[in-house]
Chains A and B, each alone.
Chain A
């Protein structure tokens, strides 16, 4: 995996500073500690930091085509590159490396933007066509790899991470209040917004072409869902067989690397399934990595051990103690570059450190399975509420909620009030956002902490309307489960999980994650599977469980879903970290950032300190306020801290004088 950065003069040639490009590239050192390179001419500057995984000796970037008229900087992996390579050779293409990067460049040369449909992988890249003076940027289908950009005075800046854009002195560092309104509703920004004004994200499944002074951004793919009537008519048995073959191949091609590959193992079905396929179906000896917690409510250690011993893996674990979670929280914010509402990214940050210590660069993870196969409680909750809404007075229908949240519903003291809570908006079934409104309205309560200044900047903006306008045209014809899956995948998975619990916390320690469940063939296959085979009754991920019932211990296949969470109050208000937490939410810091009302936050922190177990929403409030304050301190008040200890030798292609001579 790697980091990419670049500067492009949209209208006319202009001097591009080598030093600026170097600092932008250096800001991404953690993403690619092995090599670094630069291409520069009078129109464009491309920077690259490389984590070498394929073709360790000659894969240094930027990479060029045969006549050196096209150059690529590339972050990611295209897993079907060997097949594409052989097709391209037949068409006369010649290669000077064995990398997938070079294959992608030649694919673009051969097929133009249509090449994207044939790439199976996770990527963000830039291709410069020196003849046409055209820049092409593209990002993978679900957004596994990041890509940001900003257009300032006819200059396009782009980079894997925002901190790299901020190394350019022309980039202003300002908070975007609308982005905060979105984060404090959806847990992430919507569409191409980031927490910072004028810094955009090139959206998943989109490409950008900049040519003749014009910037064009287009979508080349969407998460595939189909109306029930178009779903597969094959039998369950046939579908299970097909899914199993797809999964084996999705994993097999993700094991293509010139380095050893490990797996993350949480002890749940998804990561256990991946580990089982690698060990049993593909006969590989693997290292597995698991997170342990001090508190039983969070810890899944016993399940991890059970799977590791049944598959005979070399298992490693880390203890994500409350103290450590608090300690590394500011580092995680620096890597994630957005406000968080949970502390769960921190243990994953610690886990990638362990992977790196064990000399591994690549791990497979089970991320994406809950979205694709229908694993989350929010899907089952939607199913129950739809069923209940048909007879709102039915006590039996309402009581089904207890099956989802036994830990709260089993408390008879709360039952009636909880049912009342879930009955809110019960009759609003026609609302396209029905599945998520309880969660989002609940989160939005945290906006009461916003300062008057932020509230007034947000004004009448309605984030729900904004979201509704961007839904696919046939959205209303989908099943309620497909609708919920789409919202969960395009918002929460793409913008939060794959980033703050995925790429960012893994790349913080130069570790590449690979996600077989998000193989586009599996997404398409599952888009056509009827809802009742995804969630059978209230049995979630039914088809996936059927696939693995003979490959994994019964205790793993049949265990109830355990949401991955990490302690909040115990970690962030841990006595050892009170100095930085108190400082970050002090009256003066709050006034400086202008994000939150300091009087309310003061009362809120006092309340949190006095209660034993804060409510869900209060816990989220603590993470949201603290992370926003840290984000402000690390990105607005100060320049992001960059590790400039780059002792690598630069590979530089400097064509500035050449081009100038030609022009003169």
Chain B
């Protein structure tokens, strides 16, 4: 399963409870009211556990986490960095 599908499935299951009409990779979680402050924490735990990464405080900003697209890009950067660190 690719990252996009995996994250979308998590969001649909946990915040939309199966209803994904109109929900796509560009939908803003904040603007559409899909997620609140505790919901963000649930999302972070999911990302950290699923991708074995640690998200820093300063990375917890809407630019990284407010849509599926943004998360996918963010995860790519994080996992690449991690691989780079391992290679070094």
Contact = CB atoms under 8 A, between A and B. Distances in A.
Interface of A: 408, 412-418, 420-421, 424, 441-442, 444-445, 448-449, 597, 599-601, 603-604, 607, 611, 613-618
Point out which of A408, A415, A420, A603 has the most chain B C-beta atoms below 10 A from its C-beta.
A420
A613 B65 contact: no
Nearest to B56: A413
Given A424-B30, A448-B16, A603-B17, A617 B60 contact: no
A441 B30 CA distance: 12
A618 B37 CA distance: 12
Interface in B35-88: 36-42, 44, 57, 60-62, 65-66
B17 A449 contact: yes
A331 to B, nearest CB: 29
Given A413-B57, A615-B38, A616-B38, A603 B13 contact: yes
A414 B37 contact: yes
A619 B30 CA distance: 19
Contacts of B31: 424
B18 A599 contact: yes
Contacts of B61: 416-417, 420
B19 interface: yes
Contacts of B62: 416-417, 420
Given A615-B39, A615-B42, A617-B36, A607 B60 contact: no
B47 to A, nearest CB: 13
Given A415-B60, A448-B16, A615-B39, 9 more contacts: A413-B41, A414-B40, A415-B57, A424-B31, A441-B33, A442-B33, A599-B18, A603-B18, A616-B36
A421 B37 contact: yes
B50 to A, nearest CB: 15
A587 to B, nearest CB: 14
B17 A416 contact: no
A444 B36 CA distance: 13
A449 B34 CA distance: 13
B45 to A, nearest CB: 9
Contacts of A424: 30-31
Contacts of A607: 13-14, 17
Interface of B: 13-14, 16-19, 30-31, 33-34, 36-42, 44, 57, 60-62, 65-66
Nearest to A405: B37
Contacts of B19: 448, 600
Nearest to A448: B19
A244 B63 CA distance: 52
Contacts of A413: 41, 44, 57, 60
11 contacts: A417-B30, A417-B61, A417-B65, A424-B31, A441-B33, A445-B33, A599-B17, A607-B13, A607-B17, A615-B36, A615-B37
Contact of B41 (A414, A445, A449, A600): A414
Nearest to B17: A600
Nearest to A420: B62
B79 to A, nearest CB: 20
A614 B37 CA distance: 11
Contacts of A420: 30, 61-62, 66
A599 B42 CA distance: 21
A414 B60 CA distance: 7
A12 B57 CA distance: 74
Nearest to A601: B17
B21 to A, nearest CB: 10
A421 B30 contact: yes
B5 to A, nearest CB: 18
Nearest to B38: A615
Contacts of A601: 17
Point out which of B19, B34, B65 has the most chain A C-beta atoms below 10 A from its C-beta.
B19
A408 B37 contact: yes
B13 A442 contact: no
Given A600-B18, A600-B19, A603-B18, A417 B33 contact: no
B13 to A, nearest CB: 6
B58 to A, nearest CB: 8
B31 to A, nearest CB: 7
Contacts of A441: 33
Contacts of B41: 413-414, 615
Contacts of B57: 412-413, 415
Interchain residue pairs A-B with the least CB separation, the first 10 = A615-B38, A600-B17, A416-B61, A603-B17, A420-B62, A412-B57, A413-B57, A417-B40, A604-B17, A615-B39
Contacts of A611: 42
Contact of A617 (B16, B18, B39): B39
Nearest to A615: B38
A259 B30 CA distance: 55
Nearest to A445: B33
Nearest to B37: A418
B30 to A, nearest CB: 6
Contacts of A615: 36-39, 41-42
A636 B42 CA distance: 37
Contacts of A616: 36-38
Contacts of B42: 611, 615
Contacts of A408: 37
A557 to B, nearest CB: 30
B18 A613 contact: no
A599 B19 CA distance: 10
Nearest to A614: B38
Contacts of B39: 615, 617
B60 to A, nearest CB: 5
A603 B18 CA distance: 8
Given A424-B31, A611-B42, A417 B16 contact: no
Contacts of B40: 414, 417
Nearest to A621: B17
A391 B19 CA distance: 38
A617 B33 CA distance: 11
Contacts of B37: 408, 414, 417-418, 421, 615-616
Nearest to B44: A413
A44 B60 CA distance: 67
A328 B66 CA distance: 40
Contacts of B60: 413-417
Nearest to A414: B37
Contact of A613 (B33, B34, B38, B66): B38
B42 to A, nearest CB: 7
